[in-house]
Amino acid sequence: MNLFASCREVRERLTEYEEGTLSRHDRAAVWLHLLICTACEAFYQGLRALPKVARLLLGVEEPPPAEAGQALEGALRKLGGHRH
């Protein structure tokens, strides 16, 4: 990704940005773009709010405990090592 990424490039990578899986260079490109593009920053903030909105709509007040995620990872490993 170019350091001066386009809106399309940034929006395609926001999930990876949020998860921390981008390279340093790509993370810097997204961060820089979000600093100067209010439209993409608003889109990113909306993306970040989705889990909370989903919990509210489903009536779940608290996120599941960390142990639940670890148990799921263990079960997936036992089923063939697939990560989803």
Q: Which amino acid, one-letter code, is at 1? A: M
- Per-residue pLDDT at 12: 94
- The pair of three-digit structure tokens given for residue 37, joined into one six-digit string: 């593009």
- Residue partners of 36: CB distance under 8 A and separation at least 6: none
- Per-residue pLDDT at 63: 66
Query: pLDDT (tens digit, 9 = 90+) per residue, 28-84?
Result: 999 999 999 999 999 999 988 888 887 778 877 666 677 877 887 877 777 765 444
